[in-house]
Amino acid sequence: MAGHIARWRTNGIEVVTLQRPPVNAMDLALLEDLREVFAALAYDSSARAVVLTGQGPTFCAGLDMKVVPQYGKADQLRLLEVLNETILAVYGCSLPVVGAINGHAIAGGLVLALCCDWRIVAPSLADPQVSLAEVKVAIPYPVAAIEVVRSELPAQIARHLVLSGENLGLPEALAGGVFDESAPRGSLLETALAKAARYADLPRAAFATIKRQLKEPTLSAIVSALHEGREPLREHWISEETLAATKRPR
């Protein structure tokens, strides 16, 4: 296990599990661990597919808003850099990536789910929270996050989620293409592994090339912005408005 990430493999399928209780919220350490895992998988010739999931009843609750607003300027900029790099590593992974979305997927957690090639969601005891809540906590989108949202969501769904920050019901999320299918919690991982196995049977090099062709506009937009220093949030990301928003009841 690397920090907040657990890994195991079966039949060439790497199962990657977020493990940062209680809700797998993102801090600098978790994002660095996840980026390193996907960077390594890109060069692992024995891996054929990936299943990405979370520990417990939550897939990922996005940025840890108890920790992140307390970062100093240097750590904020480092977090922004690593978040962009992690999204790029997952979204641009040459292997098939199946998301086993085991519960709530909120803000950056939903962006992470959208990075997966196929997204299978399991209802929690209640419907999982599905939202892009950044607007409610005054967190503008890093360039990689907003590019993935634009690419992966229909315009109407993206507009609703991004501009309102409201929760989307599971039926609407499935109908709107946020998720591809649902599975009972007890069989979520089995369903995800079966889907990953079907992807893993495809010719690996051809899959990687065709996936790159499909995602090229989004990947190029992210890479160009990062390489040219066009991340607009470098000077203004975590603000006083963010600190005030995190203290309001939501």
What is the chain's pLDDT, residue by residue, as a tens digit (250 residues)?
458 999 999 999 999 999 999 999 999 999 999 999 999 998 999 999 999 999 999 999 999 989 988 888 889 889 999 999 999 999 999 999 999 999 999 999 999 999 999 999 998 656 788 999 999 988 889 999 999 999 999 999 999 999 999 999 999 999 999 999 999 999 999 999 999 999 999 999 999 999 999 999 999 999 998 887 766 666 667 777 876 777 766 5
Rounded Cα distance, 76 and 99, in Å: 28
What are residue 115's phi and psi, to 5 degrees?
A: -70, -15
Other Cβ atoms less than 10 A from the Cβ of 235: the count is 7
What pLDDT digit, counting tens, does each position of 60-90 carry? Answer: 999 998 998 888 888 988 999 999 999 999 9
Per-residue model confidence (pLDDT) at position 190: 98
Q: Count Cβ neighbours within 10 Å for each residue of 44-72 and write b for 16 or more, e otherwise.
A: eeebbbbbbbbbbbbbbbbbbbeebbeee
Per-residue model confidence (pLDDT) at position 235: 62
Per-residue model confidence (pLDDT) at position 236: 67
Cβ-Cβ contacts under 8 Å for 247 (sequence gap 6 or more): none
Rounded Cα distance, 111 and 96, in Å: 17
Q: Write down the domain spans for the chain.
A: 5-200
Rounded Cα distance, 227 and 225, in Å: 6
Q: Count Cβ neighbours within 10 Å for each residue of 218-233 and write b for 16 or more, e otherwise.
A: bbebbeebbeeeebeb
Please state which CATH number belongs to domain 5-200.
3.90.226.10
What pLDDT digit, counting tens, does each position of 122-140 carry? Answer: 986 567 889 999 999 888 8
- The predicted model scores a pTM of 0.94
